[in-house]
Amino acid sequence: MIDKLKLSLFLKDEHVLKIESGQQFLNYPLLNIWGFKVSARSIEYEEIFNAEVEEMEMTEISHQHQHPWESLPSSYSGLAVKWWDSNSLISHPRLEIKGSPAKLMQGHNVFGSTSIEDCAQSMINLLCKTHPILLEVINFELTTLDLMDCTYSAVLPSKYHVDFISFLRNISNGQLRKSVNTNIYETTCYLTPTDSKRRVLKAYLKQTEMMKDIAELKKGLEKNPFDTNKRERLKIMNDPRLLEFAEPLVRFEATVKRDWMKYYKYPRMLRDWIKLQRRMQENDECLIEEIWLASFNPMLEALSGEGINMQNETTVHNKLKIAFFRDTKRGRTYAKADRIFSFYMRIVNEGYEKVYNTMDPSTFGRLLKDLTEATGTSKAQLQNLRTDSESNVVLFCNLIKVDFSTQRPDWYETAKVIGL
């Protein structure tokens, strides 16, 4: 599903200020007339002599305006909006809007739409409903898609939730790096740096986030019992069917940004995203699934494997002997199996990362490949091997399955995006 979108909208030429170089600037007094809040970012004063009163006075000689972030309310959730003036990197002023289309359309984001067109339209509809003048002054053909959250969930029994998040923190594979926030979040794990310019990957427990939202809604209603929007959303969030559906979910969220989209040759313009998605739908392909898989493929590779109890040393050794042996005149020898088993025991006793850092990379990679293929274990499981850890027994590679066909309950109804 699409959990968040960030769009940039641009004014028609006649509604911006231009200088000889061709650079455009916002007309802040006009924004104020259109109903947007305008504030002064900086004001310069100069001390000037006033002949009438024969005193020196502070007089404003220049000022710079800005548009602070605003939240446009809807029946369920809010839409964040901000006007940005041109700068050295972006020569055209723009209106940035961002929010969760799922929350705007249905009051929650436990599940939702994968249609970029529907999600973007829900946001633009709310914007134009609040500021109808924008229908006349915005060139919607130039709208760009700057950021998108693609999320899918796996069902995992709640008794394993915290252990699984802890398990993920030790995974590294390709561009996927061991979490740097290991001791901060018990129910959330970031798989990439949070300030990455390309993408941010995280896994979190959906029910925990949902209960936090419910608590905040209740707190808001205590301050303002007559807030009908919060009351309606709280009613939706407390739906027993929704709570039951969310309870076992582990959510995997990929936030893809402009640099990531450019690197993978995805469109810039919103209209081109919509055209691409329509073409893929004609071939029974899902664009959001494609983006999610491209983002989380390193994690899925690390988790792949049939899974065995890696604490059972006898089982591991026996599997290696079955895979690696050589018959000689004196009988069968298991020298290679024994070498790989010794490598495995080093990981058990010293930890994956320490062994990796003290071995030749090519030798380590060869032994790792032989060990995982012979035993059926996953790279992620080896990275989490600890002699004192219960996570060695829980075979997460068997338990975690992201099924794209079961992301919504059978009672899901597509939200209407016209006339929010």
Each residue's pLDDT tens digit, 233-257: 999 999 999 999 999 999 999 999 9
Provide mean pLDDT across the span 197-225: 93
Q: Is a pLDDT exceeding 70 seen at residue 412?
A: yes
Contact 277, 116 (CB under 8 A): yes
Amino acid symbol at 196: S
pLDDT tens digits, 316-352:
888 888 888 888 888 888 889 899 988 888 888 888 8
The predicted pLDDT at position 393 comes to: 41
Residue 418 has what pLDDT?
40
Between 393 and 358, residue with greater pLDDT: 358
Compute the distance between CA of residue 156 and CA of residue 140 in angstroms, rounded to an integer: 42
In the prediction, which pLDDT does 375 show?
81
> What's the confidence (pLDDT) of residue 164?
84
What is the average per-residue pLDDT within 365-384? Answer: 82
pLDDT at 354 over 80: yes
> Are 5 and 99 within 8 A, CB to CB?
yes
- How sure is the predictor about 173, in pLDDT bands with cuts at 50, 70 and 90? low
Check whether 75 has a pLDDT greater than 80.
Answer: no
Q: Give the Cα separation of 308 and 305 in Å (integer).
A: 9
Token pair for residue 319? 């599997």
Spatial distance between the Cα atoms of 40 and 407, rounded to a whole number of angstroms: 46
Distance of alpha carbon 261 from alpha carbon 147, whole angstroms: 9
Tell me how far apart the alpha carbons of residues 232 and 78 are, in angstroms, rounded to a whole number. Answer: 14
Distance CA 250, CA 166 (A): 13
Q: What is the pTM of this model?
A: 0.76
Percent of residues, the chain, with pLDDT higher than 90: 46
For position 89, what pLDDT does the model report?
Answer: 62
Lookup: tokens for 204: 């979190």
> Greater confidence, 389 or 22?
22
Q: From CA 149, how far away is CA 141, in angstroms rounded?
A: 23
Q: b/e string for 168-206 if b means 16 or more Cβ within 10 A?
A: bbbbbbeebbebeeeeebebbbbbbeeebebbbbbbbbb
Q: In this structure, how many other beta carbons lie within 10 angstroms of the beta carbon of residue 350?
A: 14
Confidence of residue 419 (pLDDT cuts 50, 70, 90): very low
- 220 or 401, higher pLDDT: 220
- Tens-digit pLDDT profile for residues 21-59: 777 888 888 998 999 988 766 545 456 656 666 666 554
CA distances from 118 to 133, 268, 270 (A): 22, 18, 12
Distance separating alpha carbons of residues 220 and 40, to the nearest angstrom: 30
pLDDT at 417 over 60: no
How far apart (Å, rounded) are the C-alpha atoms in residues 256 and 320?
Answer: 41
